[in-house]
Structure 1
Amino acid sequence: MSLSPEQQAEIDELRANPQPTLRVVAPGMEGHLYKARPVLDHGFVRVVDYMGDDAAICQAARVSYGKGTKSVQNDEGLIRYLMRHWHSTPFEMCELKLHVKLPVFVARQWIRHRTANVNEYSARYSILDREFYIPAPEHINAQSVVNNQGRGDVLEGEEAARVLEILKADSARCYDNYQTLIDADGVGLARELARMNLPANIYTQWYWKVDLHNLFHFLRLRADAHAQYEIRVYAEAICEMVSDWVPAAYKAFEDYRMGSVTMSAQMVDCLRRMLKGETVTQENAGMSAREWREFQEVIA
């Protein structure tokens, strides 16, 4: 993990000078505040600020629904009801602001979640650090033969070594040329132009602020086993933070989103036929080969 000396000094000062507050405090999240969690080889995630807790979700729901929630006996039951029935607004009352350091190609996946506020490190004004994501040997995979956007078997031996050599050499060469382009004694090119020569595995940083409802949507997709490893490890780190911040909401999220499955009408029909003892195959199921494979994964 690579925090700059200035970032570390800021964190140390903030942690050394706690401030009294009248706002809601979540003890579990206080333990994460201003601490950088290492991710990948040079990346990190750290909590900069947060708002709300489990009680804030219930407070908002009871204002919205009034007498309609009086049959729910406790906050945890109410939160589970809200999650189960896809009520999103109460979860929007909680917010989280993160400082994230991540490879550019991961950032381009991440930014597709357009429901957050983002401010990214600017390579127009500043010079990017000489830090690149180089995957560990166990994460160098061949292309999947069944999924056009997935990984297949792990490469080994000379093949893996050759991939690593190419990645390291190309990264170093691109950064050397970047430095030459921006060096006043060299070309003196504008930084906004010189940056276009940098590879997608160089690290960038941003502040990312999102409400809990949209954060859960992000985590449902990116912490899933099918997500790309390099973004999944960031999502998994955030999951640990969120589980300490809003434990009741996170448990409901695990049960009704992460641990649940969605089936099409055809899948439900096939499952009912199977429960009746009927032999169901792809040919008589009315599904494509991919849909049938996904259905088999669900019921396995």
Structure 2
Amino acid sequence: MAGDETGDGTQARFLDDVSVELVKHSASDSDVLWAARVSTAGEQSLEEIGKDPARSKGLINFLMRDRHGSPFEHNSMTFLVSAPIFVFREFHRHRAGWSYNEESGRYRELRPFFYVPGPERRLVQEGKPGQYVFVEGDAGQHKLVTEVMEGSYRASYAAYREMLEAGIAREVARAVLPVGLFSSMYATCNARSLMHFLSLRTRNEQSAVPSFPQREIEMVAEKMEAAWAELMPLTHAAFVAAGRVAP
């Protein structure tokens, strides 16, 4: 989305999407196989590392279906995520099997990158908690959201810059910034913890247990899932076939 000057020459940016980059990984379907087969083959299970994992597709499906979860933990993926702060508030509720390091407003001047929902974002909530649905907003509602958010963001960032220029510490000045501000973090997980995250943070017709995630964190989850599916296609397929329930 377009941006404009914030008053100090800094270009404000209003974004309607998140970004997810897989920056490092040690993850493959064979990791599941040697971890599982150590129970019966001991040190000979290392032979699975060099084998074609497709030949053992049935074992991966069995482990997933019967929820033998620990073999799915012997791998690692690190993502660089850029998203609004309110997404990270939800994300950090996932603690088992996750490690996080986020940029700090104490140690750097925060950039004026802000989230504004795109035209496809459903804006209107109907129903009561536990039963509500989101429906399309009309053109007037989308215009209102865009104008109000952008105006609020400009005002809060101008206040932030005013305090910084007066010598106020970054850790104090940041208090005026909204949760729609973009932040960035490294998030490291294994396949099992990622599957649990996906089971809760995506809405999918193939899910055995329904989930109702906020759209913005679902956008992050969808990008993570796409990257993971390329690394561990057999494990991902087994996850989907098992109703998208983490083992």
Name the amino acid aligned to 1:171: Y
Q: What percentage of aligned pairs have identical amino acids?
A: 32
**Aligned residue number for residue 170 of structure 2:** 191
The structure that is strand-richer by fraction is 2
Alpha-carbon distance in structure 2 between the residues aligned to 1:43 and 1:256: 28
Q: Is the 8 A contact 1:121 1:205 kept in 2?
A: yes
The CA deviation at 1:94 is 1.2
Alpha-carbon distance in structure 2 between the residues aligned to 1:85 and 1:256: 9
Q: CA RMSD in A?
A: 2.2
**Aligned residue number for residue 240 of structure 1:** 226
Deviation readout 1:70-106 (Å, 9 max, x if unpaired): xxx9421111111011111110001101111110001
Q: Is the 8 A contact 1:140 1:160 kept in 2?
A: no
Aligned length: 214
Are 1:51 and 2:26 counterparts?
A: yes
Alpha-carbon distance in structure 2 between the residues aligned to 1:177 and 1:223: 36
Deviation readout 1:166-219 (Å, 9 max, x if unpaired): 111001110111111111xxx211111111110110000001101111011001
The CA deviation at 1:160 is 2.6
Name the amino acid aligned to 2:203: D
Higher relative contact order (CA 8 A, sep 6+): 2
**Aligned residue number for residue 166 of structure 1:** 148
Name the amino acid aligned to 1:79: I
Structure 1 length-normalised TM: 0.67
Deviation readout 1:53-72 (Å, 9 max, x if unpaired): 111110010002449x9xxx
Alpha-carbon distance in structure 2 between the residues aligned to 1:100 and 1:157: 30
Q: Is the 8 A contact 1:42 1:131 kept in 2?
A: no
Any unmatched runs of 5+ in structure 1?
A: 2-39, 261-300
- SS of the residue 2:25 aligns to: strand
**Aligned residue number for residue 36 of structure 1:** none
The structure that is helix-richer by fraction is 1
Alignment of 1:132-281 (within 5 A): 132-147=114-129, 151-183=133-165, 187-225=166-204, 226-258=212-244
Deviation readout 1:125-153 (Å, 9 max, x if unpaired): 00111100000133151222233695532
Q: Is the 8 A contact 2:18 2:219 kept in 1?
A: no
Any unmatched runs of 5+ in structure 2?
A: 2-14, 46-53, 205-211
Are 1:105 and 2:86 counterparts?
A: yes
Q: Larger C-alpha radius of gyration, 1 or 2?
A: 1
- SS of the residue 2:243 aligns to: helix
The CA deviation at 1:42 is 5.5
Name the amino acid aligned to 1:248: L
Q: Cα–Cα, structure 1 residues 114 and 181, in superposed 2: closer, same or farther, change >3 Å? A: same
Alpha-carbon distance in structure 1 between the residues aligned to 2:224 and 2:94: 15
Deviation readout 1:212-233 (Å, 9 max, x if unpaired): 1101100111122421111111
Alpha-carbon distance in structure 1 between the residues aligned to 2:168 and 2:217: 33
> Which of 38, 42, 45 is equivalent to 1:63?
38
**Aligned residue number for residue 4 of structure 1:** none
The CA deviation at 1:164 is 1.6
Deviation readout 1:5-28 (Å, 9 max, x if unpaired): xxxxxxxxxxxxxxxxxxxxxxxx
Name the amino acid aligned to 1:180: E
Alpha-carbon distance in structure 2 between the residues aligned to 1:230 and 1:42: 8
